[in-house]
Chain A
Amino acid sequence: MDDALAREITDVVARLTGEAVTVRAARPLAGGASMETLALDLTVGDRDEALVLRRDMAVNMFHGALSRADEFALLDLAHRRGVPCPRPRYLSSPDAPRRWFLMDRRPGESVGRKVVRDPALASGRARLASDLGAALAKVHALPTVAVTLPRPRDGRSPALEAIAQTRESIAALGFTRPSWAYLLRWLEQRAPACEALSVVHGDFRVGNVLVTPAGLEAVIDWEFAHLGDRHEDLAWPTLRDWRFGNDAKSLGGVGELDEFIDAYRAAGGAEVDRGALAWWQVAGNVRWAVMCHAQAERHLSGRDPSVELASLGRKGAEVEWEALRLIDEEERR
């Protein structure tokens, strides 16, 4: 971590707490491409604090993602309302060139491949589908008026907003594919209505949760939260790609859909419309397929040279195939 950031952090935390602050250690955490993430050990007064820093990248590639200030406010609300998530602690000042916040560091594994396979997590895995269902019910119970979150534009339903966003991603790519045209038309003609907007996490799946041998520890990575249809969050963790190779378990490679839904309902979640769920499963795959090509485009455009990004374009075929297969299944029903 550079000295300027260390100074900025000690200044802000000292001002917020009125105590002397030193940074004892910092190490980078494996995280998404959208945010700089560090594990940070501070001494604040006479206390040691184990924290995580989330900081904006110099260039923000994801339009519609929350600002750090809005993410901080949402985490604070979620934590106070009993959603298992890290408690946010300190927010950078508004004039910081790249905004950040610090939250409590919680134990557990987030890397999807490990969550699905690590023998040491077997006991946590066994209950993870139901833990996720119960946690999601609490997310969807959050009051929508208490936070500033993006909402569907121009009076659209969340389903039509999701289609509009996918079409915008395609327009930004500069090319389209017959499969995308087919999938989007299918979705458009069947877009479900949504009677009430909910707080939607927006990236709720294995890979974005901390897991210990005791089960779900915390839901993390809230930057894509928005107001929308709760079926979006219910469908997203069931996508084939989020099973991390363990196809035998349809919910995140760790459990079954019914365990997840039953726990969601038992924890106060509203009734699940299976038709809307299927629609959002197709929509989620379509969105992810387009995103795979957008990642490849980051390499091809020369903006962000990386063989990993380039290869993701080919992965798009897996996700497209899955969307088409789901439609096949729906049409035969």
Chain B
Amino acid sequence: MSERGRTDVEGHPTAAELVEATRGHLVSKVIPTITDARLRFQTLVAAHVLEVVAREARRPEVAREALTAARRELFDGDDAALVAAIDAGGFDAPERSAALRAWLMAECELGLASWNPAFLASARGR
């Protein structure tokens, strides 16, 4: 995905492009030279982490905003207050429970879209 010419960012190239360049360096220049199996594995993990960071940097702000808005509709308060409300039985009623569960799954899904986009495709329905 080319972001050339974009001006609405802090710098050029974008953060995602720089992270991808670093990942490309690891994958094409560094990893092929590693003979130690453990170090090789750790470096492959590092390359994957950079891929995750690049995807997250590209995620449209609106995705997080929509989740935050949905959360406010469900419960107005921070995480500690929500935990206290859950512990006090505030989400025991079936509809409240189902609504919170759906929101919690959506929150996981936002993280998974960066961490492992293939996970949901494979996991849904099985």
Contact = CB atoms under 8 A, between A and B. Distances in A.
Interface of A: 176-179, 181-182, 185-186, 189, 240, 247-248, 250, 306-308, 310-311, 314-315, 317-318, 320-322, 324-325, 327-328, 331
B104 A317 contact: no
Given A181-B83, A315-B115, A318-B112, A307 B104 contact: no
Residue of B89, B97, B105, B122 with most chain A CB atoms under a 10 A cut-off: B105
A331 B46 contact: no
B42 A306 contact: yes
Given A178-B82, A182-B86, A308 B45 contact: yes
B107 interface: yes
A317 B101 contact: no
On chain B, which size bracket covers the interface? 35 or more
A320 B108 contact: yes
A328 B101 contact: yes
Main secondary structure of the interface of A (DSSP, over half): helix
A306 B49 CA distance: 12
A250 B126 CA distance: 8
A317 B98 CA distance: 19
Nearest to B94: A331
Nearest to A309: B45
30 contacts: A176-B79, A176-B83, A178-B79, A178-B82, A178-B83, A178-B86, A178-B100, A179-B104, A182-B100, A182-B101, A185-B86, A185-B91, A248-B126, A250-B126, A311-B49, A311-B52, A314-B52, A314-B111, A314-B115, A317-B111, A318-B108, A318-B112, A318-B115, A321-B105, A324-B101, A324-B108, A328-B101, A331-B94, A331-B97, A331-B98
A310 B104 CA distance: 22
Which of A179, A186, A315, A327 has its CB near the most chain B CB atoms (within 10 A)?
Answer: A179
B6 to A, nearest CB: 27
Given A307-B49, A314-B115, A321-B120, 4 more contacts: A181-B86, A315-B115, A317-B108, A324-B108
A308 B41 CA distance: 9
A247 B122 contact: yes
B68 interface: no
Contact of B105 (A177, A178, A186, A324): A324
B115 A317 contact: yes
B116 interface: yes
Contacts of A179: 104, 107-108
Nearest to A311: B49
Contact of B91 (A176, A182, A317, A321): A182
Contacts of A310: 49
B46 A307 contact: yes
A118 B73 CA distance: 49
B22 to A, nearest CB: 13
Contacts of B89: 185
B9 to A, nearest CB: 24
Interface in B41-66: 41-42, 45-46, 48-49, 52
A180 to B, nearest CB: 8
A325 B105 contact: yes
A314 B114 CA distance: 9
Contact of A311 (B45, B94, B123): B45
Contacts of B111: 314, 317
A320 B104 CA distance: 9
B87 interface: yes
A325 B123 contact: yes
A250 B82 CA distance: 34
Contacts of B92: 185, 189
A247 B105 CA distance: 19
B108 A178 contact: no
B123 A240 contact: yes
A247 B108 contact: no
Nearest to B126: A247
Interface string B12-55: 00000000000000000000000000000110011011001000
Nearest to B107: A179
